[in-house]
A and B are shown apart, each in its own frame.
Chain A
């Protein structure tokens, strides 16, 4: 090797020794620093884990509290549905009682008239002064009143029948197979007192023969709530509305469309009407539960679906789709 090369190599080696010595020195201080960093990290992480455990316990407790609150709420909801059912039943009884009192009252009047006439006839018979004309007159009156009494009592009987049907269904939870259209008609008869003071007409359209195996009481409740809403919200006083149900069979589903041609529901509240306690008629005694209960009955008890369309100024339509038979 040339002395020049050797010289360069020595220089290079010297440089490397300098660098190594400095690196060694540096790594000592760095190691000390790293140890601190790591020790700090360890205790920091221990603390954070501790905090996480505490907050997990708190969260678990909160979760349990929430679950309890939720259970309480569901219970309350069921109760509310029941309360509403009972309230509707009450007004139904009042309505039906009012309805029956007319034919029964008429029958009483007619019967007492008949009794008076019979008394007169008997008195004539006793005195032996019974004239032919009097007898003929009595027979006429008796026939007329008897037939009026009969028809009035028949009407009362029919009312009692339909009331019994609805009332039983309202309170009982029984499931049975029934024809949808006739049943809705019966429910409408029980609502007729409420129509008396209005100019509205109500109709049920569709095939009489369509049957469903479901809970009639729930359906009566739903129909009642929808019609009551139209009467309460859809029209101005003295307006003449047309309200109608349409029953349609669609494969294994029964579609029940209920429509009114009232003022409709503004777009901005359309999504809220099914919410519990949403009402625009609080001052008129609305609780905002009617549609909520109807919705719950459709979707839960009757395992169906319910939605609505509405256009301001044109009217509102509720679409209810029910399975033809319910699995219990």
Chain B
């Protein structure tokens, strides 16, 4: 038995919203007790109150979650300023939550310890992990490294928490706690099947240039000139814009990954990007159109369906980049609807817009931290 319940409310009133999602969930659970859950919430809610209410109704629930840049579910499709909860119940699947706090103090070690602690609570070896880590206080790449060390190569999925483009503070949820600078995770084990797909949609345009000075994720010089000049040149003296990330071609590589500008230092002309950049990489500015993005999401979803090991998955989780939502603008719901069209039956789904996506590049591959990417994770019972 594997049962999914989803609640989604766009009522801005925290109390009304939590009551609405709980009611929706109780209706579809019809008496079953949920084991674990994921909560995705807009910034402007009383998160503490919401977690407390959920705990009153479902005591002992293994719950994690975080703040987002938009939520989506099969109940209300794409929403901003909403609250969505997904609950899992099963008698042959075991799910355990854990959290690492103050992760910026030593991201890799703390993440590793958290993963190991969660593993010890399981009676079976874990199959995969979902994490909703902090994105602003520390390197998500370093957190991911720690999780991989602790979990020994099982796939990790998820998205980094967001704060609606303010880049001030994001929040993570663990059971009844509202945290910042934390890494909560869920480990899944037992009779569970899953598959995933990922896709981007951004493509490099313009002249190729060489990174001439870089230190991890801080780019100092491009073509021997201050890195900031690069964005000033393209954006008519405006500040770097994460919606137009850099395509980074590592030396001797034909494939690129994307790095968005998260900050800059106008005194020395450096830009800080969303992940490490190898020395002597070639960079290009990128662009994306609405159509490219929507098609890429469909590709990710159909890839996941193709790779699904069982009959039909029961639920789809989506982690989509906040920058995608920015390009999609008022038509953000098209991304959701395009995916829904790919499947013959109505899909049960839940997800959010993130500040960084987490998934392996291919089936059975190593997990990576992405930007501007769409991740579809399909789950079902064996």
Instruction: Looking at the assembled complex, report how far the CB atom of B92 sits from the nearest CB atom of chain A, in whole angstroms.
Output: 39
Q: Which of B10, B241, B285 contacts A37 (CB 8 A)?
A: B241
Q: Which of B238, B326, B329 contacts A43 (CB 8 A)?
A: B238
Tell yes or no: A131 within 8 A of B by CB: no
Q: Which of B12, B235, B241, B329 contacts A19 (CB 8 A)?
A: B12
A36-60 vs B, CB cutoff 8 Å, 1 = contact: the mask equals 1101110111011001000100000
The answer to whether A23 and B241 touch across the interface, beta carbons within 8 angstroms, is no
A contacts with B, residue count (CB < 8 A): 23
Instruction: Looking at the assembled complex, report how far the CB atom of B275 sits from the nearest CB atom of chain A, in whole angstroms.
Output: 21
Q: How far is the CA of A305 from the CA of B91 in the complex (A)?
A: 78
Q: How far is the CA of A37 from the CA of B287 in the complex (A)?
A: 11
Q: How far is the CA of A55 from the CA of B326 in the complex (A)?
A: 31
The answer to whether B285 and A18 touch across the interface, beta carbons within 8 angstroms, is no
Q: How far is the CA of A44 from the CA of B235 in the complex (A)?
A: 5
Q: Which of B81, B233, B236 contacts A26 (CB 8 A)?
A: B81
Tell yes or no: A30 within 8 A of B by CB: yes
Instruction: Looking at the assembled complex, report how far the CB atom of B382 sits from the nearest CB atom of chain A, in whole angstroms.
Output: 40
Q: How far is the CA of A106 from the CA of B165 in the complex (A)?
A: 108
Q: Which of A18, A34, A43 contacts B235 (CB 8 A)?
A: A43
The answer to whether A44 and B234 touch across the interface, beta carbons within 8 angstroms, is yes
Tell yes or no: A150 within 8 A of B by CB: no
Tell yes or no: B244 within 8 A of A by CB: yes
Known contacts A30-B329, A45-B287; A39 and B238 CB within 8 A of each other: yes
Q: How far is the CA of A15 from the CA of B11 in the complex (A)?
A: 6
The answer to whether A19 and B10 touch across the interface, beta carbons within 8 angstroms, is yes
Instruction: Looking at the assembled complex, report how far the CB atom of B14 sits from the nearest CB atom of chain A, in whole angstroms.
Output: 11
Residues of A within 8 A of B244 (CB): 40-41, 44
Instruction: Looking at the assembled complex, report how far the CB atom of A170 sits from the nearest CB atom of chain B, in whole angstroms.
Output: 54
Residues of A within 8 A of B205 (CB): 48
Interface residues of A in 215-239 (CB under 8 A from B): none
Q: How far is the CA of A159 from the CA of B273 in the complex (A)?
A: 86
Tell yes or no: A21 within 8 A of B by CB: yes
Given contacts A21-B12, A44-B206, A48-B285, 5 further A-B contacts (CB under 8 A): A22-B44, A23-B80, A34-B329, A44-B234, A48-B234
**6 residue pairs, one from A and one from B, having the closest CB atoms:** A43-B236, A22-B12, A48-B206, A44-B234, A40-B235, A51-B207
User: Can you spell out 16 A-B residue pairs with CB atoms less than 8 angstroms apart?
Assistant: A15-B16, A18-B11, A18-B12, A22-B10, A22-B81, A23-B81, A27-B330, A30-B330, A34-B326, A37-B243, A39-B236, A43-B236, A43-B238, A44-B285, A48-B234, A51-B206
